[in-house]
Amino acid sequence: MFAVQLTDHAELRPLEPWQAPEFLAHIDRARAHTDPWIPWATFSTDLDSARATLQRYADGQAADRKRIFGIWRDGTLVGGVMFVGFDSASGVCEIGAWTEPAGEGGGLITAAVRHLLDYAFVTRGLHRAEWWCTSVNARSRAVAERVGMKRDGVLREWYLHNGVRLDKEIWAILAHEWSAQA
């Protein structure tokens, strides 16, 4: 099976529908921590819905439109990264990430995002990678900054979550900016 070592104790691997029980247990641990930032965690509330979430990404991968990967620390799923959208025709992708508290620290998300950026730019030849986050999510914004993204703009009160209108920031990095970092 494919795995990328992120640290001596952590690796990045594909998340697939057959892993729904492990994914659901992880989401249950992460729910309170991620739901303010990633409403999709609310879509995986039982085994069937967790499997359906992973199946949507598996179908998206088969169509070359999206992908999802888990981050395992010491054998436990603690977070992940994904291509929320992947459009090779336009040369644009969007990358997202999430974690439970046990996955924080040690730069796991940043390292995993760098692997996705390398795949998007070097392997697939995309032109632009985006990162969308709420303006109040300082940890997410910090990941975007650490990988060299620049804030392109803010969509004010862009979406409603739990009765509150939140701003959405759009961060991006271009292929030539990524290659200049190498």
Check whether 36 has a pLDDT greater than 80. no
User: Which segment of 7-21, 64-78, 107-121, 151-165 scores lowest on mean pLDDT?
Assistant: 151-165
- CA–CA separation, 75 and 77 (whole Å): 7
Q: Give the helix ranges, DSSP H, for 13-46.
A: 20-34
**What percent of the chain stands above pLDDT 70?**
98
- CA–CA separation, 97 and 33 (whole Å): 13
The SS3 call for residue 167 is strand
pTM of the model: 0.94
Kindly list the domain boundaries of the chain, sorted by start residue: 4-129
Buried/exposed code over 105-137 (b: 16+ C-beta within 10 A; e: otherwise): eeebbbbbbbebbebbbeeeebebbbbbbbbee
Pick 18 or 162 by higher pLDDT: 18
* CATH superfamily, with its number, for domain 4-129: Gcn5-related N-acetyltransferase (GNAT) (3.40.630.30)
